[in-house]
Amino acid sequence: MLRVHLLGAGGMGMAPLGIYLAQLGFKISSEDDGWNPAVREMLEHAGITITPAGGLPDATDLVVFSSAVAPEHSSRRRATSLGLPQVRRGEMLAEVIKGRKLVAIVGSHGKTTTTAMLITALQRANFPCGWILGGLFQNESLPPARVDAGEWVIAEVDESDGTIDRFAPEITVVVNLDWDHADHYPTLADLEAAFAALFARTKRAVFISDACTLSVRIAGRTQPQGAAKDLEGRAVRPTLSFGRTGDYSCHLLSDKLFGQTLALSGKFSVTEAHVQARGEFNASNATAALAVAEFLGAKIDAQSLASFAGVRRRQALLHASTLTVYEDYAHHPTEIRALLASLRRRGSGRLVVVFQPHRFSRTAQFKTEFAAALAGSDSLFLMDVYAASESPVAGGTTADIYAEVKKSGAEHHVTYLPGDDAGLLRTLQAALLPGDTVVFVGAGDIEQSAHEFVAALKKAEQREAEWNDFVGAIRARLSLATKLTEREMLGPKTTMRVGGPARVYAEPASREDLRQLLLEANRRQLPVLLLGRGSNLIIPDRGVDGLVISLAQESWQKFEVQPDGRVWAAGGLRLKNLCGLATKAGLQGFEFLEGIPGSVGGALRMNAGAMGGWMFDVVDEVHLMTLQGEVQVLKKAAMHVDYRHCAELHEAIALGAYLKPAANADATAIRQQIETYQKKRVESQPREPSAGCIFKNPTGTSAGRLIDEAGLKGERVGDAEVSSVHANFIVNRGHATSADIIGLVKKIRARVKSARGIELEPEVLLYGQEWRDVL
């Protein structure tokens, strides 16, 4: 038993070949540097051993490698050192089908789908044949490869690496031809020569598309090798055409959601065919498949392709809801143009394309044509080139396609983030609108990106449904005075003036309404965040996926002097108002809070401080409500408070607190102290919108001093700027975004770390997120 090891076995050419070899009785092992889980499972099910990347087994007789696997690959190097024979996929395929009558499906675009359609039609007609597909069927109705006792084998034959010259088919089917693979065919003449030689080696018939002028030209000047001729000197082996005016002709009658109907004529024995596929190019593919099936003697009828399963990554529908998401293997400008035209006819919404170029050589060859083909989209997202083992070549990068798009003046609808495909997909999700059609296009690993995107999309849609249910359930349980809105913008409610919306925003009018909100959110395990006066925090541009509660209503603004001299300050009371009311009441000790742009609840949660004083210096007792709706009363001594933090309020909402004045004093004297603090603050802090001090002070020094000494005052990212007044403040110069601020935070931390070896820790909150996730 020959022991064969497959390199790059996860590829769509290699995996079916592996299954075919295993069925022939070879002992197969395989490896891949980036397995698709479904492909790996399929090979394991076929009895193929999976080895780690670089895990060439000692007991190996032959190595078969994908053309995408470079000679420098560790397993190829080891095979060379062991003296093992190494052959390409096409060479192995040609060898194992010797002695069988081969139907070779070849060409530039659509050969996998045409091969799959031919297999489907022959199987339905019970025509005995084996096959090796260059892909996977969309479902498990048919395997991608099968060994059969019959004399015929159907195989997709790839010309990209030159192994096409190893095949001598009985029948050759050319779906179409375009100059491609410039790394192997430097000129169009080289490609023509390869196919002319294939035509000449074909024994029984050549099928060509009547719409492909290149195929027609090659066929017109090619005679089969050693072929007999009739009395008039014509070759016995015919060249037959398919298409609108071909020997086997078709006309598209209808193209609907679940398939199309073709009118057949010419050499066809039937007049109509129903095809479970869409688009004119699939009409052509189906015509070719049905023509060859009939030529082989199989019985075809109108239903031969009515249950065609489709091929993975060929207009594969991944998701359909308010958005429709497809993926497609198209990687040549002609394929992309046809794909987008087909999708454009199907809907009225925007057509959004995510394109990953395949190979640097192809990108360099067709960058102008790619830009023109992609102009058929309404919005374009460009990923970096999938190298497929190639080294970069001049003019062959995604940036070169982007430059071509810019020349056309269409750059306004193009997004390209070099080296950040993950960020590109996040940007894509944020930009989509209901009714959009999204298609992921390319022959590289964009398939994985597409499936990850759809998984995230489904998760987001499930979350959206949960929020809709929450709003519907809670609204009836709240008093009319409570404000409840969806997607309320939060930026204007903050001192920094940046940030997106809250998924749900509430201003409860009472403790009971607050309790109901928390109980329902907790029951549904939905996140809850509290928003005070909006200081000391940065809200992400995309907003917050949570219930944001603000104690902004009048019932939360109470200031009440108690008989025992303490003061009840409700959680929503602004600190500025607290100081003003205390001054009027002749109560001293709260002056340091006057300039902090926050509320009592926020000051308690953060143990806010200024001018040498801290919030918990004046606290006696805190009333809070847990996120489970339970009210608790805690004395200061029972709470765990430290620098900018109160542990008990991390997962709770401060309803208010009893505060202890330092003393009774004349209002004028208190006001004078406040004015002194105000003057100091004006002199030392910026007036532009800010979130307060950005970083915590490291032990033994101040963050502001470190930033100043690093020469960062005035440093900007977008409209976010390090204040020239106080270096530990980032100010909004007018149109800053949270992305600008986060970018500036990263720059400051890196510069200070480089200069002083100190890693600054943010003091402001990244609302709804954790700093560690973005730094």
- For 559-608, the pLDDT digits (tens) are 999 999 999 999 999 988 998 898 998 898 888 888 787 899 988 988 88
Residues 505, 609: Cα–Cα separation, whole Å: 28
Band (pLDDT 50/70/90 cuts) for residue 411 is low
| Residue 518, φ and ψ in degrees, nearest 5 | -70, -40
pTM of the model: 0.68
Mean pLDDT over each residue of the chain, to the nearest integer: 89
- Tell me what pLDDT residue 231 has: 46
- Tell me what pLDDT residue 355 has: 95
Report whether pLDDT(666) > 90: no
Report whether pLDDT(509) > 90: yes
Q: Which of 173-177, 399-403, 489-493, 718-722 has the lowest mean pLDDT?
A: 173-177
Would you say 717 and 742 are in contact if contact means Cβ atoms under 8 Å apart?
Answer: no
Written as one string, the DSSP assignment of 588-643 is ES-GGGTT--SBHHHHHHHT-EETTEEGGGSEEEEEEEETTS-EEEEEGGGS-EET
| pLDDT mean over 496-516 | 96
Which uninterrupted H or E stretch holds 511? Answer: helix 511-523
| pLDDT mean over 429-446 | 90
- Tell me what pLDDT residue 376 has: 84
**Computed over its alpha carbons, how large is the radius of gyration of the chain?**
35
Residues 520, 243: Cα–Cα separation, whole Å: 62
Per-residue pLDDT reduced to its tens digit, 3-60: 999 998 888 888 999 999 999 999 999 998 878 888 888 899 999 999 988 888 888 9
| Cβ neighbours for 753, distance < 8 A, ≥ 6 positions apart | 759, 760
Report whether pLDDT(698) > 60: yes
| pLDDT mean over 629-646 | 91
